[in-house]
Amino acid sequence: MAGPAPRTVLVTGCSSGIGLAVAVRLAQDPQRRFQVIATMRDLSKKGKLEEAAGPALGTTLSIQRLDVCSDSSVAECLSSIPGGRVDVLVNNAGVGHVGPVESISVEEMKRVFDTNFFGAVRMIKAVLPEMKRRRSGHIVVVSSVMGLQGIVFNDVYAASKFAVEGFCESLAVQLLQFNVFVSMVEPGPVNTDFELKLMEEVARSEFPGADEATVHYFKDVYLPASHEIFTTLGQSPAAVAEVRGERGWGRGGT
Section 56-67 average pLDDT: 97
Is 157 catalytic? The answer is yes
On whether the pTM is more than 0.85, the answer is: yes
Containing H/E element for 137?
strand 137-142
C-alpha distance from residue 230 to each of 8, 94, 146 (Å): 33, 18, 14
Domains and CATH numbers, the chain: 7-190+237-247 (3.40.50.720)
More confident residue, 216 or 90: 90
Dihedral angle of Cα 46, 47, 50, 54, to the nearest 10 degrees: -170
Residue 186's pLDDT is what? 84
Q: What is the mean pLDDT of residues 32-40?
A: 97
Residues facing residue 180 across a β-bridge:
137
Q: Active site residue: 34, 153, 157, 218, which one?
A: 157
Chain segment 220-243, per-residue pLDDT in tens: 888 888 877 767 666 666 666 665
- Residue 74 sits at φ, ψ, to 5 deg, of -65, -45
Residues 23 and 50 sit within 8 Å (Cβ to Cβ): no
Neighbours of 136 (CB within 10 A): 16
Q: Tell me what the pLDDT averaged over the chain comes to.
A: 87
